[in-house]
Structure 1
C-alpha cells in the first residue's frame, strides 16, 4: 500500500523499527530485516530518476517473514513496524495469513522457509552451481525479472550475494513463486533441471533429499497439462 510522508530534517533518513512491542500476538512468526539498522536515506530517495545518478530502482529494505510449522502459530500475522525519521508518527502494518498444507502432502513437498536458506546454498555449492546463473534460476523459480531480479542486481555487486538474495525471495514466495509450485525441494530441483548449468545441482539435491520419484511425478503432471 502506498503512503506519503515527510522526512524529519534533523535525521534525513527513514528507519524501519522491527524490535518494537507488538499489540497483537505473533506466536510462531519471525520477521527479520536483511540489514540492521534497516535504513533508507533521503538522498537515495531524492536521487531516484536523477539523470546524473541514472537510478531507476527505488531503494528498499529486504525483509524475511516466515512461520513455524506448529499448531501454536497464530493463523494471521499483524506486525507493526514504526517509522523513525518522519515528521509525523507513523507505522507500517504487515498482514500475512498462514498458509497451511493438506494432510496428504508428504515430506518432499512441504513448504520451505527462510530457515532453509543455508541448507539450499550448501547444496548448490556442493552441486557446483555457478552463482553467475542466479538470474536464470530466479526466472525458473517464478521471480519477476523487471522488479525483483533487477532490484537484486542493483543492490548487490557480487554474484554470490545475488544468488543468496534470489533464493531468499523465492523462500518468501515472491512474485509468481506459488504459480510455479511454491517453495519446496521438488520445485527447486525441477527449476535447476531447466537451467543449462543446473543439472548437477539438481541431481545432488534429488539424491540428498530422495526426490527422484516426486520430481518425475511433477514433470509428468506438467506434460499432461500441455498435451
Structure 2
C-alpha cells in the first residue's frame, strides 16, 4: 500500500495518494491517530489532505473489508536559511550561490523573485543554485521544500564601471594608496593591479581605496571585480623604476 509522496510539512495540508487494492469505500485514512480528509477514492487509491503531525507516523486505511497498513509517512520541519553566499549576483545571472541552513534536503525549487530554478542538494545543511537573470533590485529568495518555505533577500546588481584612479604611479615595493572611482562598486570582491591582488576597502558605491601591491617596474591595468561582474579602469598604473 505505497504512498505517493510519503513526506510532508508538519503543518499538514499536502495532497497525497495511497494506492493498493480493495480500497473502495474507504471510511477513514489515519496518520497516526489523526484522521485525514478524504478527497477521492477508487478501488485502487485513496487521495487525502494530510493533517498536522510530527516525526514518523503510520498511515492506515479503513475500509468495509478491514484496515490496510500501516505505511510510514515522514513529517518534515520547515527549512531554515542561515546564510546565502554571495548575497548578490549579476543581472545576467549565471552566478553559483550557496545556501546554508537546516532541513534543506527535500528542497524542490529556489525562487528569485518571480524566477524559479532547481537547486542541487549538497546535504541537509547546504544547497547550491545558479542564479537566473533579473533586473537590478533586491528580491525575495525563497527555498521551497516538502517541509515548507523559508525566505531571505538576494540582490541583483549591474556590472561595475571603473572610471578612473589616482595617483597614477607608485613604487615597486607597493604601499601606494590608490583611490578608484566608478559606479556599482558596492559589492566589490577584488581589485587587481595587473594579475596581483590588492588590499582594498569599499568607501561607497562610487569609490574604492586600494593599496597597490608590490610589482616589477612598468605599467599595469587596474581591474575591479564585483558580484555583478568586472571592469578595467581606463589607462594604466605606472610602477616607477
TM-score strictly above 0.5: no
* Higher-strand-fraction structure: 2
Q: Which structure shows the higher helix fraction?
A: 1
The higher relative CO (CA closer than 8 Å, separation ≥ 6) is in: 1
**TM-score normalised by the chain length of structure 1:** 0.29
Determine which structure has more spread, i.e. the larger CA radius of gyration.
2
TM-score normalised per structure 2: 0.28
